[in-house]
Amino acid sequence: VSGISGPIVGWAKPIPVNPRNFRDKKWGDLKVAVAGPLSNFAVAAFFALLIRFVSLPVQFSEFLAFINFYNFFWGLFNLIPVPPLDGSHIIFSFFPRSWFRAKLFLNQYGLMILIFVIFFLINYLSYGAVLLYAFASGDKTLNLLINLF
C-alpha cells in the first residue's frame, strides 16, 4: 500500500519449490502458484464474514478491517503476472512451449518491471483491495480504509 512516504514493502521470501516432486507434472506449478493468493483471499473472506455477521467492538472491528484489507491487497499483488510473483507462474502454466522467449524475457526483466509496478501502479491495487473489502464485509469502517490513500 502507499502513503506519503511511498510504498510499504514486506519481507516475503519466495518458497523454494522442486518441480520434480510434483505428481501432476503439467499443472503442479499452477496449483502451487494459486495456493498463495488463494490463502490470502481465504483469510480475507473469513475476517470479512466475521465483520459482516458478528457484532464486535469498534476497535476490534477496525483491526480486523486492516487485516482484511491487507490480505485482499497481498492476494491481488501476488496475482500480478510478473516474475517472481505467483501470477507469473499462473500465466506461464498456460503459455505454449513456443512462447519460451517471452517467458525468458519476463524472467530476465521481471524484477525491473515489478519495481515499476510497485512505484507507479500500486494505488490501483489498493483501490481494488478496498473495493473487495467493501463488497465482502459490507463494513461501515470503509472510510478508515479510504483515508489510507
| pLDDT beyond 70 at 5 | no
Which of 48, 66, 70, 62 has its CA nearest to residue 125? 70
Residue showing cell 478496498:
130
DSSP assignments along 4-61, one per residue:
TT--------PPP--GGG-SSTTTHHHHHHHHHHHHHHHHHHHHHHHHHHS---HHHH
CA pair distance 70, 129, nearest whole angstrom: 8
Return the pLDDT at 121: 84
Percent of the chain having pLDDT more than 70? 84
Inform me whether the pLDDT recorded for 136 exceeds 90.
no
Q: What is the mean pLDDT of residues 65-86?
A: 91
Contacts of 126 (CB under 8 A, 6+ apart): 1, 2, 73, 148, 149
The residue assigned the cell 463488497 is: 135
What is the average pLDDT value for the chain, to the nearest integer?
A: 83
Compute the residue count for the chain: 149
What is the 8-class DSSP label of residue 83? T
Higher-confidence residue of 5 and 34: namely 34
State yes or no: pLDDT of 2 exceeds 50: no
CA triplet 51, 55, 56: central angle to 5 degrees? 75
* Residue 137, pLDDT score: 81
Higher local confidence (pLDDT), 7 or 15: 15
Average pLDDT over residues 97-110: 87
On the question of pLDDT at 133 being above 60, the answer is yes
